[in-house]
Amino acid sequence: MTVKLLLVDALNLIRRVYAAQPGEDGPERVEGACVSTLGSLRRAVRECGPTHAAVVFEGEGPGWRHERYPDYKAGRTPMPEALKAGLAGFEQAFLEAGVVSVRFPAVEADDVIATLASKVAVRGVEAVILSTDKMFLQLLSDRIEVRDHFRQLDLGRAFVMDKYGVRPEQFVDFMALCGESTNNIKGVPGIGAKTAARLLEEFGTLDRLLSASETLKGRSGEALRKHTEDVRLARDLVILQTDLELGLNLKSFRLQA
The whole-model pTM stands at 0.95
Residue 257 scores a pLDDT above 70:
no
**Mean pLDDT, rounded, for 183-199:** 95
Share of the chain above pLDDT 90, in %: 92
Give the model's pLDDT for residue 61.
87
The pLDDT tens digits for 104-142 are: 999 999 999 999 999 999 999 999 999 999 999 999 999
- Averaged pLDDT, 231-249: 96
In tens, the pLDDT along 194-225 reads 999 999 999 999 999 999 998 888 888 999 99
pLDDT, tens digit, 9 for 90 and up, residues 30-77: 999 999 999 999 999 999 999 999 999 999 989 999 999 999 999 889
Q: Is the pLDDT of residue 1 over 80?
A: no
Q: Which of 13, 10, 5, 96 is nearest to 53 (CA)?
A: 5
Domains and CATH numbers, the chain: 4-155 (3.40.50.1010), 166-238 (1.10.150.20)
CA quadruple 34, 38, 44, 45: dihedral positive or negative? positive
pLDDT band at 84 (very low <50, low <70, confident <90, very high): very high
Residue 229 makes CB contacts below 8 A (sequence gap 6+) with none
**3-class secondary-structure state, position 35:** helix
Percent of the chain with pLDDT over 70: 99
Q: What is the mean pLDDT of residues 92-96?
A: 95
Name 9's bridge partners: 56
